[in-house]
């Protein structure tokens, strides 16, 4: 069982194949890259939604504070989550649950020194991370 399977537990069990697992990682990547300002923009969205402590914990070097699927839908917008879920072929609850599980870990891996590296190639970092998760 790979890191991705362990991370997503039951959600991955419902999806099954590697292509669908890759699609969930693509979903997390899309969420980050589609934000104005990329990773910093996503973190700012969590800050403005009152979840700054959560986002800060993902960037920091300590344990990650969890978020719920409902919090993800509130921060990103339930309409956006529903549209992403439809493209992925899953229900919106599954997409928001997957994002609630993935985003803290992805952000944590993208910020190993406890801060956002504004000069880093975000696309390359996300591609490398996807390969690591799906290995």
The reply to whether 1 falls in a domain is no
For position 38, which CATH number holds? 1.10.10.690
Which residues have C-beta within 8 Å of that of residue 37, sequence separation ≥ 6?
A: 44
Identify which of 41, 51, 44 has the alpha carbon closest to the alpha carbon of residue 72. 51
How many domains does the chain divide into? 1
The reply to whether 10 falls in a domain is no
Task: Report how far Cα 26 is from the mean position of its chain's Cα atoms.
Answer: 9
pLDDT tens, 96-125?
998 998 899 899 989 988 999 888 888 898
pLDDT score, position 94: 86
Mapped onto helix, strand or coil, the DSSP state of residue 65 is coil
How distant, in Å, are the alpha carbons of 6, 68, 81, 95 from that of 88? 21, 20, 10, 8
pLDDT score, position 17: 54
pLDDT score, position 42: 96
List the chain residues with pLDDT less than 70: 1-21
């Amino acid at each position: 069982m790979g890191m991705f399977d362990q991370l997503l537990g039951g959600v991955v069990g419902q999806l099954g194949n590697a292509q669908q697992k890759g699609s969930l990682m693509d979903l997390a990547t899309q969420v980050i890259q589609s934000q104005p300002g990329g990773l910093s923009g996503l973190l700012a969205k969590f800050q403005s939604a009152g979840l700054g402590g959560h986002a800060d914990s993902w960037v920091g070097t300590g344990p990650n504070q969890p978020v719920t699927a409902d919090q993800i839908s509130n921060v990103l917008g339930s309409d956006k989550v529903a549209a992403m879920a439809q493209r992925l072929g899953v229900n919106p609850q599954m997409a928001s649950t997957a994002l609630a599980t993935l985003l803290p870990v992805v952000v944590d891996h993208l910020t190993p020194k406890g801060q956002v590296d504004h000069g880093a190639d975000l696309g390359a970092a996300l591609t490398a991370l996807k390969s690591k998760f799906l290995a």
